[in-house]
Structure formats: structure tokens, C-alpha cells
Structure 1
Amino acid sequence: MSSSPRVTLPSLLAEIRACRACEAHLPHGPRPVLQVGRDARVLVIGQAPGARVHASGIPWDDKSGERLREWLGIGPDRFYDPSAIALVPMGYCYPGRGASGDLPPRRECAELWLDRVLAQMPGIELTLLVGAYAQRRFLGDERRASLTETVAAWRDYGPSRMPLPHPSPRNQGWFKHHPWFERELLPVLKERVAKALRGKPLASTL
């Protein structure tokens, strides 16, 4: 009896981009947006595309992405290199607007695709968990009572995982009221990203 053919990354991405599981719930229709490379070293787990990203089809193609790249200490060329950086949101399609901003990422993406996508990237050295949805999925019971407390406890999650707030301009008040984030966390984040992209071990990074 012959074994089933091995799933390749291009075939998996083709499946994802053809996905219509949530079509009835997406006011702007499905347009899965993610960036995945077999050799990626840094994985950014976000929330869901916003309206601008839905329009362009480019992950983090907005003001939030500009700030995120500043946090990481890299430019667009490196950020959009799938052999270096993987950009995987919890929900791949724009969920639409709610009363107080964009709706949460839909659950179907993580249920259908997340484990399969992660299995295609064996070389990930550093996973950045942007926002509460990513932190809930990847930290589980290690998560603190609030996003602020979780990010403040970043040292407790080891050198290969870092929880981050969302870099949205809507969070400007959060950044202003928590200066320790820029002062203490961001220099370490930049160092860890640089080391991971160079293939250096992260264990010595405090």
C-alpha cells in the first residue's frame, strides 16, 4: 500500500488561499493573508488583517506594521523575506468592523490551519505573540490575568517566546502609561530578533 504524498508548503498555502470556510461571515469576502517560508527563523503571530491589509493582500501593510518593524529593528526588505520572517495571524481574513473597532479573528483559521502551518517551519527560533489572542493560544495557563501583566512578565517565558501588545496607533495611551516597555523590553526584543536571524542561540539573551 503506497503512502499518501507529503504535503508541501506551496500546496498548503494554495489550500489556505482557496479556503472559503468563513465566507458567509466575512462582510468583505475571504482573502487569506499570511507569509510563511520553510526556512523562517522568526515567527510573528498576530490577530487578523485590517481593512488596509485586506485591500493590499500584504501582511502588516499599515501603521501598525510600521511600528512593529521599528520594534524589531528591521526594515521592510527583511520583514517581507519569508526565508527570515513568518507572519501568521490567528485569523487570516479581515473579519470586518464591530461597534468598537475590528471584530476578533475568527476561530476557524487556527482550528483548520495553524498546526499544519507551524509544522512547515521547523527552524523557528523566536515566536512573537502580538496581542491577547496569540498569547491565549500559545501561552495557555502561563498567561497572566491581563495583557499588560502578561507583557510585563516577558522574562518568565524564556528566550524563544515574547508577548507583545498590539502596535496599533489605538494603543498610544498604553505605550505612554507603560514606559518600561520601550525602555526594558524593546532593546531585548531587537537583540533576540537579530540573533535569531543570524542563526545565533538565544539562551544567553536576558
Structure 2
Amino acid sequence: MTANDLDRLTAQIRACRLCAEEPRGRPLPHEPRPVVVASTRARILIAGQAPGTKVHATGIPFNDASGDRLRDWLGVPHEEFYDPANFAILPMGFCFPGQDAKGGDLPPRRECAPRWRRPLIDLMPQIELVLAIGLYSQGWHIGAGRGATLGETVMNWRTIYASNERPRVIPLPHPSWRNSGWLKKNPWFETELLPFLKSEIRHRLG
């Protein structure tokens, strides 16, 4: 497994049209634009949900208000965040899935993770820490160890972190401003989890 292998796989992902050509269900409502940052050097994997409208338009992951909040949680500036030597960024769905009738983003497409996720993870054995953002990512990276709800899973972050030796996993809520109410109701997230998270990030960035 080499950097060339990862480059070839990433190129295949960026050319993917699985969800646009889905014959059995709901095809993607726009031209696919997979957004992924794979790396043979990064020790930290950000495992998110799926791109939103701004990320779809720019092709840059977390290039929106959610990204600003996430960078604040991690304690990293813009230039560190987008350095592939620092972070790999693999959402559960690589393309913007569209919106529902209320204007909210739809869940990540189901075609994406079964086709691409395991081969990508296998080509990045250097990953030491996974930030599992949101329900879909937590289901994949934590599995049976997650709680009945996202809040329960995030609240159990210490046990989840301790139970995975390599890579370690830290569950996080989505940094969307829609979750501001949850954050206010759970002050321990800011006072207990975020200091630990920042320390883990800094330790691995050097």
C-alpha cells in the first residue's frame, strides 16, 4: 500500500457517479461533486456526515459556519486544518445529498460508505484518532458501542475513547448551529470534552 494507491483510489472517488445513476431509488438531484481529503501522513481522521450546500459549491470540506465551529472545538487555525499532513477528512457520504421539504440536509447517501469507506481506511493505517461526527459516522466507527441517541453516545465519550486502542475514537455532535440548543443544555461538552479534545489534537499535531 503506497501513496500512489491512495491517489488512485481518491481519483476514482472524485469520478464516482453511483448516486447519480442509482436505478432503484432516488437519484442525486444535482451533478455529483465528491468531497474528500485522504492522506498517508495525517494521524487524525475527521469522519463527518456529508457536504452541505456551501461545501458542494466550493469543493472544500467544512468551508462553512459548521467548519468555523469545528475548528474552534479543535483549537486549530484554518491553515492547520486544511493541511493534509494534519487531517484526513472523510464524510460518510462524499456528495451533498440534497435537502428535504423543510430545507434541512438529507442523510448521507447509502451507496457511498459501502463502496468506498473500507478501502480508504485500509490505505491510511497511520490514523491514530477518529473524530466521529454525527449519528451515521458514530454508527460506522463505534458500532455496538454507541448509545441509543447521539447525546448518550457523546456523553459516553470517555468509555468509547478508552475502548478503542488504535485508532482511538472521540464521538462529537455535528458542529451545525442547529445544535446550539443541545450544547447549552450540556455544558459538560465545553468544560470537560473540549479541553480533552484540544489536548489530543495538539499532541498529534506536534
The answer to whether the superposition gives a TM-score over 0.5 is: yes
> 1: distance between equivalents of 2:62 and 2:46?
10
Percent identity over the alignment is 53
- 1:87-116 superposed Cα distances (whole Å, 9 cap, x missing partner): 100000000001341000011111110011
Give 5+ residue unaligned stretches, structure 1: 199-206
**Displaced runs of 4 or more, over 6 A:** none
Instruction: Report how far residue 7 of structure 1 moved.
Output: 6.4
Q: 1:195 aligns with which of 186, 200, 203?
A: 203
Amino acid at match of 1:80: Y
Preserved contact between residue 39 and residue 122 of structure 1 (Cα < 8 Å): no
- 1:106-138 superposed Cα distances (whole Å, 9 cap, x missing partner): 111111100111112121111000001001111
- 1:25-64 superposed Cα distances (whole Å, 9 cap, x missing partner): 1112200001111111100000000000000000000000
- 1:158-185 superposed Cα distances (whole Å, 9 cap, x missing partner): 2511000000011111111111100110
> 2: distance between equivalents of 1:40 and 1:161?
15
State the partner residue of 1:163. Answer: 171
> 2: distance between equivalents of 1:191 and 1:28?
40
State the partner residue of 2:109. Answer: 106
Amino acid at match of 2:183: F
State the partner residue of 2:165. Answer: none
Bigger mean CA offset, 59-68 vs 93-102: 93-102
3-state SS, counterpart of residue 89 of structure 1: coil
TM-score of the superposition, structure 2-length normalised? Answer: 0.91
Q: 2:132 aligns with which of 126, 129, 132?
A: 129
Q: 2:17 aligns with which of 1, 16, 20?
A: 20
TM-score of the superposition, structure 1-length normalised? Answer: 0.91
Q: 1:139 aligns with which of 137, 142, 152?
A: 142
Residue correspondence of structure 1 range 47-126 to structure 2 within 5 A: 47-100=49-102, 101-126=104-129
Q: What is the CA RMSD across the aligned residues, in angstroms?
A: 1.5
